[in-house]
Amino acid sequence: MWWAKDPEAKLLTKIDFFILSFCCVTYFFNYLDRSNLTNAYVSGMEEELSFKGNQLNQINTIFTVGYILGQIPSNLALTYLPPRIYFPAMVLLWGCLTMVTAAVHNPQGIMAIRFFLGLAEASTFSGTHYILGSWYTERELGKRSGIFTASGLAGQMFGGFIQTGIHSSLDGAAGLSGWRWLFIIDGLMTLPIALYGLFLFPDTPATTTAPYLTPSDRALALSRLPNSNSKPAPINKAFLKRLFTTWYFWGFVILWVIAGETESFSSNSLLSLYMKAHPTIKYSVAQLNNYPTGVPAVGIISTLFWATLTDYLGGKRYLVGYFIGITGIVTSVLILTRFETATVMGAQRSLHGQTTQCDSQSIDIALL
């Protein structure tokens, strides 16, 4: 607590309050603004903009391309630009892009916006690893990494409820469809986070000038992680050779590619799309947005459980690996099962939500 006598405990309370909270709130709105496309799609956007064929998949693919291209430049930028400037700038950019989406008249316009949205949102996931690794020791990262991952799932979960409320109360207001209001309101909700980061985010231990950190706090933060004051390593042939010849780099790449390919979790929201396309059962807009929220809810519980267990086991992650393997097999069997309602599909996605979030959380800890 703030009044704790132990200087390290007091420092942890401060950085939890200002750093972890900012990262989590940013990731919450990152997922909220990212997943609202499917909420809009099942709430009238498909018909109003005359989507055809695989255009929604193309939009998601273009977003992913932007997200991939933005990862490495974002982390490199954080080694040269103050994080308290860079993070809020990216939040401001993607909040504005989210609001601009409300003005589109065709799927092609969304494609262009989502590419740049992916570039801007890439800063959060990769950048948070850099920041948390600059302030927290290895023994402190398990639960905090889990909380960070769970905050993104919470953003996706609340997105469905927000769209339900907007559609029921604002559909047709000022001549705008409910799905257009979703983008406007989500974007407006995101903008204050940029101000929060600009004034309160403390940068790194070596560069912070945050008024709530005393000189002794800054010295303690540096002593806890001596490497946090080191200069960025040059990107040269030796660095690239060392990177590409380590087994764990390729192990993480393969695991993450498989997880990303099989989940279609954050941007596609398959359960909503499955329910909307059901050949015999017609779901209401509220059902299309509310029912799938159970998937990220299960993912939140699973993430926090495994993050806590990882800390309890002293950083050992072998049980997480077993769980990923078992649920991966079970969900593959479920997806091959013939069923008439969304029940089994929902069960499959919920279990898969646990699997992929375990992937995410375990990789987070390993990288940090």
Q: How many domains, the chain?
A: 1
DSSP secondary structure code for residue 232 in this structure: P
Residue range(s) defining the domain that contains residue 199 = 7-367
CB 348 within 8 A of CB 336: no
Which range among 139-148, 166-175, 295-304, 313-322 shows the weakest confidence by mean pLDDT? 313-322
Q: Lowest mean pLDDT: which of 7-21, 152-166, 170-184, 269-283? A: 269-283
pLDDT band at 348 (very low <50, low <70, confident <90, very high): very low
- The answer to whether residue 354 sits within a structural domain is yes
In a domain, 269, yes or no: yes
Phi, psi (5° rounding) for residue 269?
45, 65
Name residue, tokens 């980061």: 197
pLDDT band at residue 189 using 50, 70 and 90 as cut-offs: very high
Cα dist. 59→49, 66, 116, 139, 143 in Å? Answer: 13, 11, 12, 40, 34
Is 1 part of any domain? no
Question: Does the CA dihedral 26-28-30-36 come out positive or negative?
Answer: negative
pLDDT at 368: 45
pLDDT digits (tens, 9 = 90+) for 230-246: 666 677 888 788 888 88
**98 domain residue, yes or no:** yes
Alpha carbon distances (Å) from 349 to 11, 42, 261, 330, 331: 40, 18, 14, 11, 8
How many Cα atoms are found within 13 Å in the side-chain-facing hemisphere of 327?
Answer: 24
Q: What is the CATH number of the domain that holds 276?
A: 1.20.1250.20
Average confidence (pLDDT) over 51-63: 92
Helix intervals (H) in the chain? 7-15, 21-40, 46-48, 55-78, 83-100, 107-135, 141-170, 178-200, 215-224, 237-244, 247-263, 270-276, 285-290, 294-312, 318-335, 342-367
**Cβ neighbours of residue 34 under 8 Å, at least 6 residues apart?**
63, 117, 121, 156, 266, 267
pTM: 0.84
8 A C-beta contact, residue 300 and residue 157: yes
Look at residues 307, 351, 347 and name the one whose alpha carbon lies nearest to residue 329.
351
DSSP letter string over 265-318? -SSS-HHHHHHHT-SS----HHHHHHGGGHHHHHHHHHHHHHHHHHHHTTT--H
User: Is 339 within a domain?
Assistant: yes
